[in-house]
Amino acid sequence: MKTFILSLFCAMMITPAIAQETKQCCAKKKYVTELGLVFPVKTDAVKDYINASNIGINPLTSGFSSGFQVGKHRIINEKATLGLALGGNMFYGRGVATNQVYQLGAYLTGRLYFGDSWRNGVFAEVGAGPEAAATSLNGGDFQYQANIASRFGVGYNYQFNEDVTLGASVVVAPSIMADNYFDGAKVVVNMLW
């Protein structure tokens, strides 16, 4: 019985020390890594153009603008991060015509968190950076375009476990060339660690 009480006492003394050490270890984390999928909110204009050009719809072209996003963000403090987000998408199809679209972007991104930390709660995002795109529709020549883009977004991060956080956000990229400022809106679903 004495051995059991002594073991219990030692466990009670050691557990807070381990918890404190774990907390300090996590507090020393300097970067957040991000990996996510991007889905367009409005794809009607692209689909209308594809239909008007008699381009055969397939699972790839019908999902135009769906893509990926990877990022690395420096933790400034518990309420803010500053980093780089890279995003891209592409499709290639071969039928009656060769259809190709490639789009890449790199955005300097600042995020402000309204929860206890970046791990959990609502956040706002502001970003800007270069975008480049190339297209070939109906077997035509490649057309190239470059742009300096801005991004604004709001989202929510959920701390799934000690190592992984899951997030979702809505991002808009206003353009003076678009019919509507929300034409480039996207939903980003990501995992952060």
In the chain, where the domains are located: 29-192
Please tell me which residue, 168 or 138, carries the higher pLDDT value: 168
Q: Where does the chain have alpha helices with state H?
A: 2-27, 44-52
Residues 85-121: b if buried by 16+ CB within 10 A, e if exposed:
bebbbebebeeeeebbbbbebbbebebebebebbbeb
Q: What's the pLDDT score for residue 94?
A: 55
Residue of 127, 168, 134 lying closest to 149 (CA atoms): 127
What percent of the chain has pLDDT above 70? Answer: 64
Q: What's the pLDDT score for residue 8?
A: 44
Q: Is the model's pLDDT at 171 over the cut of 60?
A: yes
Q: What is the pLDDT of residues 76-97, one digit of tens each?
A: 998 999 999 998 876 655 555 5
- Among 13-17, 43-47, 171-175, top mean pLDDT goes to 171-175
Q: What is the dotted CATH code of the domain comprising 29-192?
A: 2.40.160.20
Weakest mean pLDDT among 9-18, 65-74, 138-147 = 9-18
Residue-averaged pLDDT of the chain:
78
Q: Is 49 helix (H, G, I), strand (E, B) or coil?
A: helix
What does 65-105 look like in DSSP terms, one character per residue? T-EEEEEEEEEEETTEEEEEEEEEEEEEEESSSEEEEEEEE
Widest CA span in the chain: 85
Q: Are 104 and 87 in contact (CB under 8 A)?
A: yes
